[in-house]
Amino acid sequence: MELNSKKLERTSSIVYYSISLILCLFLILLSNKIIDDLDTTTVRPVKENFENKAIMANLGKKSNELTIELENLNTKKSSIEKTIATAKENYANEKQSFDNWVQTRRTLGSPDKDQEVIYRAYKLDEIYKIEQDWRSQLNSQQAKIDQKGKQQQAIQKIINKEKEAAERKYNTELKHYDLKVFLIRLLFVAPILAIGIFFFIRYRRHKFWPLYFGFTLFSIYAFFFGLVPYLPSYGGYVRYAVGILLSAGLGYYAIKTIRRFIETKQAELQISTQERAKNVQSNVAEKALENHFCPSCGKDFILKKWEFPQKNTEIEAYKLVTDFCRHCGLELFSNCNKCGKKNFAHLPYCSSCGTKPTSEN
């Protein structure tokens, strides 16, 4: 028994495409797992492996020693600065005391010949001299710090040059690694894409077409997305070139198919209406009646109000159907030879009495 239910047709389409998508999903998951395992066949380079470990260790040791020396020198410098600050404060206090004492001596007598004045001035000079000695040590300490700093900068420049050389070697090796992984993936994915295209062209009308269509979707995803993580600089050209070839190939195939369909339809219209009526399939007839188009030429068979001559203005019907297609002459509606009910001529049974149409009785 032939089933022409529109609901069944819609449900079938949903089921078929769901099968395709589910199959595509699991194929993608499986391929990702396989591709991850393929990536382990070659070892990714590590930047540290391209550095001269002996030289870097020696330079690092020297740099650490200089860092320790600089820390010690800075500690001593900080201590000297504190001592200088104390000496400066002592000098300021002593000078203030001396000035006050001298002022007092001037009031009581001549300070120029007083031995106490000379002693206090000598003591003040000694304090100032101590401060100057500490400042001299501070300058010497700063010179040592500057010298060690220059040595550390020189070592750091050498370290930077070593790292830059290692970086260049690493980048070169990384490009080779990416190329290897890309080629491995391409060797795995390219045949899948070819098989997917073959399935689409050869089995798109097969009774198990959802399975083939699901594999085709997977092959397209695998090629255009599976190669992304390790795509080299020219990898985009590969993908875009393949995309152009696929677009051109499918476009050519689509144009050729459409033109062949048009030529076939034009050739069919040259055949008699009786022969064309025999070739109309039930599912096509059902869709034609539902969407009111001729099953032979595909044009609308409903007349609109504005298509009537002016003399028939008394007709109030907005739509009207004719028994024959006004574009190709195919019989559309016929009367049942049993009950006289008008039916669509290409459906298998009369809608009123259930008998075969007139053409088959």
Would you give the DSSP letter of residue 281?
A: -
**141-194 pLDDT, tens per residue?**
888 888 888 888 888 898 888 888 888 888 888 888 878 887 888 888 888 888
Interior CA angle at 30 toward 25 and 34, to 5°? Answer: 145
Give buried/exposed letters for 339-353 (b at 16+ CB in 10 A, else e): eeeebbbbbeebeee
Q: What is the dihedral of CA 20, 26, 32, 34, to 10 degrees?
A: -110
Q: Which pLDDT score is estimated for 239?
A: 66
pLDDT at 307: 54
d(CA 64, CA 70): 10
Q: Whole-angstrom Cα distance, residue 53 to residue 49? A: 8
Burial (CB count <10 Å: 0-12, 13-18, 19+), residue 232: middle
The low-confidence residues of the chain, meaning pLDDT below 70, are 1-9, 100-120, 228-239, 265-285, 303-320, 357-361
Question: What is residue 7's predicted lDDT score, i.e. its pLDDT?
Answer: 67
Alpha carbon distances (Å) from 174 to 37, 44, 56, 230? 19, 7, 22, 10
Q: What is the pLDDT of residue 206?
A: 84
**pLDDT tens, residue by residue, 133-142:** 888 888 888 8
- Going from N- to C-terminal start, the domains of the chain cover 1-232, 235-270, 273-360
Characterize 267-290 residue by residue with b for buried, 16 or more Cβ atoms within 10 angstroms of its Cβ, and e for exposed: eeeeeeeeebbeebeeeebbebbe
pTM of the complete model: 0.47
**Helix crossing, 235-269 with 115-203: angle to 10°?**
30
Q: Which residues share a beta bridge with 320?
A: 303
The whole-number pLDDT of residue 22 equals: 92
Q: In sequence order, what are the residues at sequence separation of 6 or more whose Cβ sits closer than 8 angstroms to the Cβ of residue 279?
A: 268
